[in-house]
């Protein structure tokens, strides 16, 4: 799992590469500690290079969303592969998350 963080104006973008599963979920959670501590209000998770998410990965993303919302932060997911997007639809998490087509749209939609 590789996570690169970049700032685009007021938006913090997390570019993820690899699978989000039981082995990498703790690493993903840790990567967001700084955003939570500093109360970043506009966050995008770019899943362009994520091919697989398991149930622990979904739970981690839900926890990140919950923690951001606790202080008024907003989270958008972008660039989901068909496989990952299908998982969000099957689990009805597409109703919980703000899912947009690409990073550009996500950043500009805040």
Instruction: Extract the tokens encoding 40.
Output: 């970043």
2-108 classified as CATH 3.30.750.24:
yes
pLDDT tens for 26-59 read 999 999 988 888 899 999 999 999 999 999 999 9
Q: What is the pLDDT of residue 104?
A: 93
| Range of lowest pLDDT (11-15, 35-39, 65-69, 97-101) | 35-39
Q: What is the mean pLDDT of residues 4-32?
A: 95
Model's pTM, two decimal places?
Answer: 0.93
* Every domain of the chain and the residues it spans: 2-108
Residue 56's closest CA among 83, 26, 22?
22
Residue 63's closest CA among 103, 33, 94, 100?
33
């Amino acid at each position: 799992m590789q996570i690169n963080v970049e700032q685009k104006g007021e938006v913090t973008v997390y570019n993820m590469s690899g699978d989000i599963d039981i082995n990498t979920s703790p690493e993903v959670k840790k990567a967001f500690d700084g955003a939570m501590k500093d109360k970043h209000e506009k966050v995008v998770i770019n899943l362009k290079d994520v091919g697989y998410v398991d149930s622990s990965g979904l739970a981690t993303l839900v926890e990140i969303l919950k923690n951001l919302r606790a202080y008024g932060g907003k989270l958008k997911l972008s660039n989901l592969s068909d496989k990952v997007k299908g998982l969000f639809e099957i689990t009805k998490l597409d109703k919980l998350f703000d899912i947009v087509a690409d990073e550009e749209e996500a950043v500009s939609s805040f």
